[in-house]
Amino acid sequence: MKDVFVVGMGLSAKDLTAAQLEIIQSADILMGGRRHLAQFETLSMEKAVITGKVGATVDFIRDQRKNSRIVVLASGDPLFFGIGARIVGDLGPEQVTVLPNVTSIAAAFARIKEPWSGAKIVSLHGRDNRYKLLAALKSHALVAALTDAQQSPQWLARWLLDQAVEAVRMAVFENLGAPGEAFGWYTLDQAANHSFAQPNVVVLKTSALRPDADALTLGMANDAYCHQGGLITKTEVRAVSLARLRLKPGLTLWDLGAGSGSVGLEASTLLGAGRIIAVEQHSDRVALIRQNARRYGVFNHEVIQAKLPQGLEHLPPPDRIFIGGGGEDLAAIIEAAFPYLLPDGIMVINTVLMDNLTRAMDTVITLGMVPEVTQLQISRSKTMPWSLRLEAQNPVWIIAGMRPPIPAATRNEI
C-alpha cells in the first residue's frame, strides 16, 4: 500500500516548489481538476480528472493506491476548505502526505496589502453559509468569502442589500494567478450590477457595519424597542423565556406571533451564526420588527407576514420555537408548528390567559412533550413622593417542552 500525496498548487504551477514538482513528476497517477491537469500535459503518467463527486474520488484513490503512487493536485492549500481534509479523514493521517501552498485568500489580502490575522473566513463554495457570513460581519472588520458560480459576488452583494446591510466595501479578486487576473473595490450597489469572471474570491471590509447602530444586549428595557400598544414580551419574561429556549450558536429559531420582535432580536446575541425567522400577522407590526432589527444591526433576522397557523410550510426547520401570542388559535399554532420542530428541539410558549395555559398544556402533552411550567409574577418599583413602592405586573405562564429524539430503530429506516 503506497502513500498518497496531496499537493497544493497555490494560484498556479508557478507557485510550486522544486520538492513539490519532484513529487508530482514521480506519480503513477496524477489526479486533479481539468484546470490543474492541463498544466502538466507534457508528463506521461496516467491522469484522472476529479469531478464534484468527492466520495467517488476517495474510492478510486483507495483502490488504486494498492499498486500506484497517487498524487492529488488541489487548489491553494489542500487543508484550507479543500479536498485534502476529506482525503485525510477517509484514508487516515498516517496514509497521506500534504504539501501546502499559498491560498487564494492569502493572495487576495496580499493584493490589497491588508493583514488578515484577525479576518474571518467563510466558505460559500457549495455551502449555504450566508448567515454565518452575516454574523461574521457584525464582529469582524474584515471578512473573506470563498465564492462559487451560484453564490457569486454579484449574488452576494444583492443578498446583503436585501438584508439591509450597509457601509460595506467589497473587493473582488478574479482569476488570481492567471493571465486575466483582476481585482477592484466596489460598493454593494456597484457589485450587485456587475458580472465577475470565475473563479473569484471576495473580501468585505468595514470599520463598523452600522456605525449608528445601538448596542443590543440581553435584558433590554421595554422602551428600547418600538412596539404597538404594549404588545411586547416584557424584560423579565423575555429573559426567562430565552433561558428556557437554551439557545446556542448556529441554531434556527422561529419567533411566532413576534409582536415587536424583541425575543428574536435578543436571541441573536446568543445564536451567533444562527438564524431567526419572525412570523407576524399585522403589517404595521412587521414594519416595527424590521425597524427594531435595523436599529440594532441584526441581519440574520427575517420577518414573514402571515396569519398563524398558516405560513410555516416554506420556512427552514427550526431547532427552537418561541410562541409569544396566539389568542384563541394558540392550540392550533402549537399543533401546526410542532411537526417542523427538529428532534431534541425546544418549544417555549408564553401566555397570560388561564384558558390558554390549559390549552397549551393539553396540546404539548398530546404531542408527546413533557411540559415544564413557570409562573412569573413580576413587581416593579414605582417612584412615590418620598419613597418607592412595588407595582405588580400581570402574571405570565411560560410552558417549555422538548421534542423527543427519533428512536434509533426509526433512524435506521430513514
CATH number of domain containing 190: 3.30.950.10
* pLDDT for 411: 43
**Residue where one domain finishes, among candidates 146, 178, 205:** 205
Contacts of 110 (CB under 8 A, 6+ apart): none
The total number of structural domains in the chain stands at: 3
Contact 103, 76 (CB under 8 A): yes
Please identify every stretch of the chain with a pLDDT value under 50, giving residue numbers as ranges.
209, 211, 410-414
Domain presence at residue 210: no
* Residues 155, 30 share a domain: no
DSSP code at position 312: -
Instruction: Look up residue 80 and give its three cell numbers.
Output: 484550507
Q: Which of 94, 83, 24, 37 is nearest to 58 (CA)?
A: 83
Q: Taking the CB of residue 393, how many other CB atoms lie within 10 A of it?
A: 15
DSSP code at position 13: G
pLDDT in tens, 325-383: 778 899 999 999 999 999 999 999 999 999 999 999 999 999 999 999 999 999 989 99
**Residue where one domain finishes, among candidates 81, 102, 123:** 102
**Residue where one domain finishes, among candidates 179, 205, 231:** 205
| 3-state DSSP assignment of residue 15 | helix
* Residues 227, 159 share a domain: no
Give the CATH number of the domain where residue 86 resides: 3.40.1010.10
Domain presence at residue 212: no
* Residues 384, 246 share a domain: yes
Give the CATH number of the domain where residue 285 resides: 3.40.50.150
CA distance 279 to 337: 12
Domain presence at residue 16: yes
Q: Which of 251, 239, 275 is nearest to 396 (CA)?
A: 239
Q: Please work out, in degrees rounded to the nearest 5, the angle formed at the alpha carbon of residue 89 by the alpha carbons of 84 and 91.
A: 95
* pLDDT for 377: 92
* DSSP notation for 184-247: EEEEHHHHHT---PSSEEEEEE-S-S-TTPPPP-TT--GGGS--STT-S--HHHHHHHHHHHT-
* pLDDT for 414: 37
* Residues 314, 331 share a domain: yes
H or E element at residue 132 = helix 130-139
CA distance 272 to 254: 15
CA distance 359 to 331: 6
Domain presence at residue 360: yes
Domain presence at residue 226: yes
* Residues 265, 137 share a domain: no
CA distance 203 to 201: 7
pLDDT in tens, 187-206: 999 999 999 999 999 999 98
Domain presence at residue 239: yes
* Residues 371, 291 share a domain: yes
Contact 146, 105 (CB under 8 A): yes
- For cell 510550486, what's the residue? 16
* Residues 263, 178 share a domain: no
Domain presence at residue 211: no
Q: Which long-range contacts (CB under 8 A, 24 or more apart) does 315-318 make?
A: 315/254, 315/277, 315/279, 315/340, 316/252, 316/275, 316/277, 317/252, 317/341, 317/342, 318/252, 318/253, 318/254, 318/277, 318/342, 318/345
* pLDDT for 408: 56
Q: Which of 24, 92, 33 is nearest to 57 (CA)?
A: 33
Could you tell me the maximum CA-CA distance found in the chain, to the nearest angstrom? 95
* Residues 368, 260 share a domain: yes
Domain presence at residue 189: yes
Instruction: Look up residue 297 and give its three cell numbers.
Output: 444591526
Contact 104, 76 (CB under 8 A): yes
* pLDDT for 93: 93
Query: Does pTM surpass 0.85?
Result: no
DSSP code at position 355: H
* Residues 173, 98 share a domain: no
Q: Which domain holds residue 181?
A: 105-205
Instruction: Look up residue 412 and give its three cell numbers.
Output: 435506521
Dihedral of alpha carbons 235, 239, 242, 247, sign = positive
CA distance 197 to 175: 7
* pLDDT for 209: 46
* Residues 136, 79 share a domain: no
H or E element at residue 162 = helix 153-162
* pLDDT for 207: 57
Paired residues of 247 in beta bridges: none
Burial status of residue 297 (CB atoms within 10 A of its CB: 0-12, 13-18, 19 or more): buried
* pLDDT for 294: 85
* Residues 191, 69 share a domain: no
* Residues 235, 112 share a domain: no
